[in-house]
Amino acid sequence: MVKLSVVVPFFNVQTYAPDALKSLALNAREDFEFLLVDDRSTDGTPELLERAAADLPGAVFLGRDENGGLATARNTGLDAARGEYLAFLDGDDWLAPGHLARTLAAIEALNCDFVRTDHVQVTGRARSVQRVPYGPEGVVADPRAGILPAGRATAVDYPFAWAGMYHRRLLDRGLLHFTDGLRTAEDRPWIWRLHREARSFAPVGLPGVFYRRGISTSLTQIGDERQLDFIRAFDQVLSEAAADRESDLLLPKAVRTYCAIIAHHIGSIERFEPAVARKLRAMSAAALARMPRAVLEQALDSMDTERSTLLRGLRRRGPAGAAA
């Protein structure tokens, strides 16, 4: 029986894939499987994965016929997963030796739907531990308790799918698949749905995932139109929060987070191609116009002056004015 399935998507990461694969080897167990999903890479990544599938215990190579983005690649792995538990890793990151076994022991001891782990952020030579913004550790809680309050960072603001482990019952309930085709912010509607609909979770510390930040192959560093998928992702967060039985509690958090993300992108708009920048302003203004007016006003009032002024100006100009 497969105890744990680890879904690992790769796209054009031949420089970093060897580190990820070596770390999987240092986590291998006879009851673990590693689903290596190539999202139609155009460099040497597929050859690395094919060799790994032959040499790495439990590894399975899954090559996609066309590039679909991170969400779709993860779904490909989930569809093939056989494990009682599931975990994720990205192809340009890596794991500490034994991290998967330690996390598995934690979730089995706690007997909850999912656990969330801390991680190590790697920026060049600098490393820093990033904590799950929820406590205390090792105590099972209602996942909804990880959504609020609106005015500070909470568990839904820590959306990294690879920072945790998940019981198969969540997959069977349809809670682990990602929105197909999203190329950025794919983890935002995913983490919100998990915290709204799962029954139990716990943070457990265990910072054993090493996350590379700021590398040139990362989509967050590329200013093309794929970045604009954050609008579609947060529209989904907003619509699902509005349909929730506790919408009056959840909408202020969803709207405030959406506004903060818009302000972040508009504030660094110079990294986008000119045509994409114009589209970003227009789509952001349209998104603000779709938000519940009273909730939006409350969110803007709660933000610092710089971001609030930026967003109010964008809203006044509207989609047409913002595009111009």
48 neighbors 36 (Cβ within 8 angstroms): no
The pLDDT score that the predictor gives to residue 317 is 86
Same domain, 166 and 201: yes
Q: Where are the alpha helices (DSSP H) in 131-228?
A: 168-172, 187-197
| pLDDT tens digits, one per residue of 127-168 | 999 999 999 999 999 999 999 999 999 999 999 999 999 999
Task: Read off the tokens for 42.
Answer: 């155009």
Q: How far apart are CA 21 and CA 95, in angstroms?
A: 9
pLDDT at 301: 97
Cβ atoms 311, 263 nearer than 8 A: yes
The residue with tokens 């660094």 is: 268
Q: Is the link from the previous residue into 143 a cis peptide, with omega within 30 of 0?
A: no
Q: How many Cα atoms within 13 Å fall on the side-chain side of residue 321?
A: 9
| pLDDT value of residue 321 | 67
Which of 163, 184, 218 delimits the end of a domain? 218
The residues near 296 (Cβ < 8 Å, ≥ 6 apart) are 255, 259, 288
DSSP string, 188-250: HHHHHHHHHH-S-EEE-----EEEE-S-TTSGGG--SGGGGHHHHHHHHHHHHHHHSTTHHHH
Clarify whether residues 161 and 301 are in a common domain.
no
- Shared domain for 181 and 234, answered yes or no, is no
Per-residue confidence (pLDDT) for residue 218, from 0 to 100 = 53
Q: How far apart are CA 236 and CA 257, in angstroms?
A: 13
Are 214 and 240 found together in one domain? no
Name the strands in the sheet holding 126-130, side by side, starting at the edge strand that comes first in the sequence.
94-95, 209-212, 119-123, 126-130
Q: Are residues 152 and 252 in the same domain?
A: no
pLDDT < 50 regions, the chain: none
Domain of 153, in residue numbers: 4-218
Pull the structure tokens for residue 191. Answer: 């983490």
Residue 178 confidence (pLDDT):
98
Number of domains in the chain: 2
- Per the DSSP assignment, residues forming a β-bridge with 62 are 37
Which CATH number fits the domain that encloses residue 58? 3.90.550.10
Judge if 129 and 252 occupy the same domain.
Answer: no
pLDDT of residue 217: 55
58 in the same domain as 24: yes
**Per-residue tokens: 227:** 């970045």
Give the per-residue pLDDT at 172: 98
- In 222-304, DSSP assigns E strands to none
Under 8 Å between Cβ of 20 and 93? yes
Q: Do 305 and 252 belong together in one domain? A: yes
Contacting residues for 144 by C-beta, under 8 A, at least 6 apart: 195, 196, 246
Residue 317 CA to residue 81 CA, distance in Å, equals 48
Mark which of 218, 237, 253 sits at the end of a domain. 218
| Same domain (yes/no): 154, 257 | no
Nearest to 174 by CA among 160, 193, 188, 158: 193
Domain limit, last residue, from 193, 218, 243: 218
Q: Please write the tens of the pLDDT for every residue from 266-310.
A: 999 999 999 999 999 999 999 999 999 999 999 999 999 999 999
Tokens representing 242 are 């509005």
